Amino acid sequence: MVISKDKCGACAHYIPQTIGCHRAAAGLKCVLDVETARQDLKIAESKTVKAAPSALDRQVGGGHYKDFEIQPAEFITRNNISFLEGCVIKRMCRHSAKAGREDLEKAKHEIDLLIELKYGGKP
């Protein structure tokens, strides 16, 4: 730990650079020695706000996407895939773990819609 040349405005003790003055938002007391500085640093680190978990780490209504290396929603978004194409990908990924044949029938219907809307005419 490096002790800075800065002094606490209240008591004139030297302050470790990693801690800051006791008046800091962490609510630490002035540091008199290195061991106290280490203890205060541990207290400050424990008060650090932890980042919220990613939405990709949880799934509502099942777990059929969580076992994939990359979830369909992430793949679809990163690759700028259209809505209907994304629906087909999602259903193809999950059919064996969720709705079976129904997911395949829906994917087939979405492919038919895609053909009709993008290329004209009936499939």
Q: What is the pLDDT along the chain (123 residues), one digit of tens a residue?
A: 444 555 555 555 555 555 554 445 455 555 555 667 677 777 777 766 667 777 677 777 677 777 778 888 888 999 999 999 999 999 998 888 888 899 999 999 999 999 999 998 776
Q: Are 45 and 28 in contact (CB under 8 A)?
A: no
pTM over 0.75: no
**Residue 29: its pLDDT value, please?**
53
**Residue 89: its pLDDT value, please?**
93
**Residue 113: its pLDDT value, please?**
94
**Residue 86: its pLDDT value, please?**
94
